[in-house]
């Protein structure tokens, strides 16, 4: 009998070939609605594009090639609070000095996939045109219920995930670290800084989330009030998916886990809408990149558990959003992202030491613009390297 926690175990992705055969058969048997010519992307997923993507997925996409490329990265499975967590742990190539541990947090509808392109740039900057002294020990976990992490016994909100990640970093040998994220990962990063401020040296975020404010609107600036109004408009016009996830996620999950074409429609529409692609999703992602993400969701069967995280987060008390982050905070606000928070809101809610507005990239900037995102993190975290206790 073990007296302590289970040590991290090496992990490789291994897909049952029968699952891929079944996937292809389902793709070829897709039933398409008969009224999709009208509207294009304005009514949701463009069926003409989806037909093209589904045909490619069924007959040309090479999942085995993508799986092998992913397995070239260093994967672990770590028992954290009784949940098996899949994590990529890429140690800095330059070990001449202490490397800064960097915990990267993904969102929805993605997984560790969000950071696939940027991991080598952060762990080995010298090989990619950067300064070797900027190397990080990069830690990229799949949140419980996402990717290759276990489904938790009940949906976890971002506060609970942050607590798990603090324990994860302990198990990986890091007392203090920096963290970054976007989308739901921005919330996880925020709660790490709020609830584990003794361990988080600095925090970097790509967004401020959707606006939630319970105070007197008169206390806000004009820019802040306009941002809150814009958030309400966005919720009415673009937020139907989130309302479904937050209230009745299992209803949608039954269809999405059974139909790969439905899964593609649900996710690809968001990849297009939230990226800096000027309406053409393939200017941000190739078909192979899109299908790598979709196939991960399919083979792991995690679309339902990923959506249920919204239900958990919807129950977070409003007063949690009023807490101010005192850990030094940086923001990179990419032009193609969903909503651009005003500077006044950032300073109201965090101890802001840096804000930048990169000229390219959107919600998935680490994947869309990996070199630019990597440089944002190198620049922001560089002054904090000396503060790390090793």
Chain segment 191-249, per-residue pLDDT in tens: 999 999 999 999 999 999 988 898 899 999 999 999 999 999 999 999 999 999 999 99
Confirm whether 183 is a catalytic residue.
Answer: yes
Q: What is the mean pLDDT of residues 336-352?
A: 96
| d(C-alpha 127, C-alpha 90), whole Å | 14
- Break the chain into its structural domains and give their ranges: 68-224+323-384
Percent of the chain with pLDDT over 70: 96
Catalytic residue, candidates 196, 204, 245, 363 = 363
Q: Of the given ranges (30-34, 149-153, 199-203, 218-222), which has the lowest mean pLDDT? A: 30-34
Burial label for 10, CB within 10 Å (0-12, 13-18, 19+), is exposed
User: Is the predicted pLDDT of residue 23 greater than 90, yes or no?
Assistant: yes
pTM for the structure as a whole: 0.96
For 13-142, where are the alpha helices, taking DSSP H only?
17-28, 47-59, 63-71, 119-123
Tally the C-alpha atoms within 13 A of residue 195's C-alpha that lie toward its C-beta: 18
Name the CATH topology of 68-224+323-384: Rossmann fold (3.40.50)
Catalytic residue, candidates 46, 310, 337, 373 = 310
Output the pLDDT for position 326: 98
- What is the average pLDDT value for the chain, to the nearest integer? 94
Closest CA to 45 of 230, 293, 240: 240
- CA dist list (Å): 286 to 262, 268, 282, 316: 19, 12, 5, 36
Confirm whether 59 is a catalytic residue.
Answer: no
Catalytic residue, candidates 46, 157, 183, 276 = 183
Instruction: Report the SS3 class of residue 367.
Output: helix
Measure CA 132 to chain center.
26
Closest CA to 71 of 86, 83, 51: 86
Q: Of the given ranges (97-101, 300-304, 372-376), which has the lowest mean pLDDT? A: 97-101
| d(C-alpha 383, C-alpha 370), whole Å | 21
Confirm whether 89 is a catalytic residue.
Answer: no
Q: What confidence tens digit (pLDDT) does each residue in 166-191 have?
A: 999 999 999 999 999 999 999 999 99
């Amino acid at each position: 009998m073990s007296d302590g926690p289970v040590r991290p175990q090496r992990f490789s992705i291994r897909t049952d070939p029968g699952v891929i055969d079944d996937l292809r058969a389902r793709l070829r048997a897709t039933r398409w609605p008969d009224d999709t010519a009208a509207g294009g992307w304005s009514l949701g997923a463009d069926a003409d594009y989806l037909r093209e993507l589904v045909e490619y997925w069924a007959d040309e996409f090479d999942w085995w090639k993508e799986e092998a490329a992913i397995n070239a990265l260093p994967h672990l499975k770590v028992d954290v609070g009784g949940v098996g967590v899949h994590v990529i742990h890429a140690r800095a190539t330059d070990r001449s000095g202490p490397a800064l541990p960097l915990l990267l947090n993904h969102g929805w509808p993605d997984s560790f996939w969000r950071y696939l392109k940027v991991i080598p740039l952060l762990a080995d900057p010298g090989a990619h045109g950067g300064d070797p002294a900027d190397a990080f020990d990069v830690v990229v976990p799949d949140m419980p219920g996402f990717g290759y992490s276990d489904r938790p016994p009940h949906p976890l909100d971002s506060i609970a995930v942050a607590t798990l990640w603090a324990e994860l970093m302990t198990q990986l040998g890091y007392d203090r670290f920096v963290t970054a994220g976007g989308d739901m990962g921005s919330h996880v990063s925020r709660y790490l800084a709020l609830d584990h401020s003794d361990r988080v040296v600095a925090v970097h975020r790509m967004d401020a989330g959707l606006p939630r404010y319970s105070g007197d609107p008169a206390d806000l600036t004009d820019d802040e009030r306009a941002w809150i109004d814009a958030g309400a408009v966005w919720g009415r016009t673009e937020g139907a998916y989130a309302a479904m996830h937050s209230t009745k996620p299992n209803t949608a999950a039954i269809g999405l886990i059974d139909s790969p074409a439905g899964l593609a429609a649900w996710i690809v529409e968001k990849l297009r809408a939230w990226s800096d692609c000027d309406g053409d999703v393939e200017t941000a992602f190739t078909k192979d990149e899109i299908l790598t993400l979709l196939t991960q969701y399919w083979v792991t069967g995690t679309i339902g558990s990923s959506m249920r995280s919204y239900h958990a987060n919807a129950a977070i008390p409003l007063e949690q959003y009023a807490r101010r982050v005192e850990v030094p905070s940086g923001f990179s606000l990419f032009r193609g992202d969903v909503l651009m928070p005003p500077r006044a809101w950032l300073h109201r809610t965090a101890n802001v030491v840096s804000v930048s507005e990169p000229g390219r990239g959107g919600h998935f900037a680490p994947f869309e613009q990996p070199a630019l995102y990597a440089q944002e993190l190198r620049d922001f975290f560089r002054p904090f390297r000396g503060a790390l206790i090793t």
